[in-house]
Homo-oligomer: A and B are copies of this chain.
Amino acid sequence: MENQHDERAREKLEEAKDQVILAISETMDLYGVTPAAGKIYGTMYFKDQMNLDEMREELGMSKPSMSTNVRTLQQIEMVKKKFQRGTRKHTYTAEKDFFHSFMSYFCQMWEREVKMNMEAIHEAEKMLREIFEDESISTELRDEAKSHYELINQSKVYYRWVEKLVDSIRTEEIYKFLPKDTEK
């Protein structure tokens, strides 16, 4: 009867875990991470370490899928490779500090956004300036160029702000303004 209790408890424990794993993987899905990667991370979250074969077994998916998804998880620093001697299999651990995952994921995105748009803006500004500074062009066109110029020039304020946000997260300065621990 000890066994009976344990059996039911085990089921309940797995159910509890699965609930959290589902929420985690749905969150990741929300941010554009593939379903498989979300499930892998969620599963690893409750384990100390795993290797590719254990993941494959636990999730019932193919090994290449594990391999590629673990790689993308490493890119966003949600999974780290662990050096372990004695076995040839690579073992991995999940980053359990969500603050770190948040930082890594969003900062990467935001930096890419800033870079991409700033480059486009600089190019466009140059062209537009050439237009509205050229007196051989009709006033209407020059005015249009000027107004577009001012619009995109204005947006730089935003991109510079995003850059600062990234900075303050990377340096952890943001936690001075928004402390991690909430009293209560």
Complex Cα spacing A78 to B17, Å: 38
Give chain A's interface residue range (CB within 8 Å of chain B): 35 or more
Complex interface: stretch among A1-9, A52-60, A65-73, A81-89: A1-9
Tell me whether A61 is interfacial, beta carbon within 8 Å.
Answer: no
Q: Is the interface of A mostly helix, strand, loop or mixed?
A: helix
Contact for A121 among B6, B20, B97, B144, CB less than 8 A: B20
Q: Chain copies in the assembly? A: 2
On whether A6 and B137 interact (CB within 8 A), knowing A16-B148, A128-B16, the answer reads yes
Do A160 and B182 touch across chains, with their CB atoms under 8 A apart?
A: yes
Among residues of B, the one whose C-beta sits closest to the C-beta of A8 is B137
Do B148 and A46 touch across chains, with their CB atoms under 8 A apart?
A: yes
Residues of B within 8 A of A32 (CB): 30-32
A-B contact pairs, 19 of them (CB 8 A): A6-B141, A12-B130, A13-B145, A13-B148, A16-B125, A16-B128, A19-B124, A20-B120, A20-B124, A22-B120, A23-B121, A98-B159, A102-B158, A157-B180, A157-B181, A160-B182, A161-B178, A174-B177, A177-B178
| Chain A residues close to B by CB (< 8 Å) | 2, 5-6, 9-10, 12-13, 15-17, 19-20, 22-24, 26-27, 30-32, 45-46, 96-99, 102, 109, 112-113, 116-117, 119-121, 123-125, 127-128, 130-131, 134, 136-138, 141, 144-145, 148, 151-152, 155, 157-162, 164-165, 168, 174, 177-178, 180-182
